[in-house]
Amino acid sequence: MRRCLVFGVEVRELGAATRRSPRAAFARQVAMYLAHVVCGLSLTEVGALFARDRTTVAHACEVVEDRRDDPELDGRLEHLECAVAALIGALVWHERRS
């Protein structure tokens, strides 16, 4: 069982078809937000990854942006954004060397 350390939910809950707990729902919204904002995927592409409609992804992004007023959450999100960007950079670097 793998857990998302930042939000304390099981990774499999991020892709669950149902809402599950509020904590899991918000973790999924953050994952969709990161996929859109950091990875540069379109709302439609993110929706396909999470088996959600693009309007659901847009709502998730709005929810996350609205909650960034909380300094603690904003700090966590900044760390996550940096981590995802670093992973993408490492993958691109590795791909170019191959």
Domain ranges of the chain: 3-96
Closest residue by Cα to residue 32 from 19, 5, 8, 14: 14
| Tens of pLDDT, residue by residue, the chain (98 residues) | 566 667 778 877 777 777 678 888 999 999 999 999 999 999 999 999 999 999 999 999 999 999 999 999 999 999 999 999 999 999 888 888 87
CATH number of 3-96: 1.10.1750.10
Report the pLDDT value the prediction gives residue 48, as an integer from 0 to 100: 96
Report the pLDDT value the prediction gives residue 22, as an integer from 0 to 100: 87
Report the pLDDT value the prediction gives residue 10, as an integer from 0 to 100: 81
Do the beta carbons of residue 32 and residue 43 sit within 8 Å?
no
Report the pLDDT value the prediction gives residue 11, as an integer from 0 to 100: 78
Measured distance CA(7)–CA(23) in Å, rounded: 7
First to last CA, the chain: 32
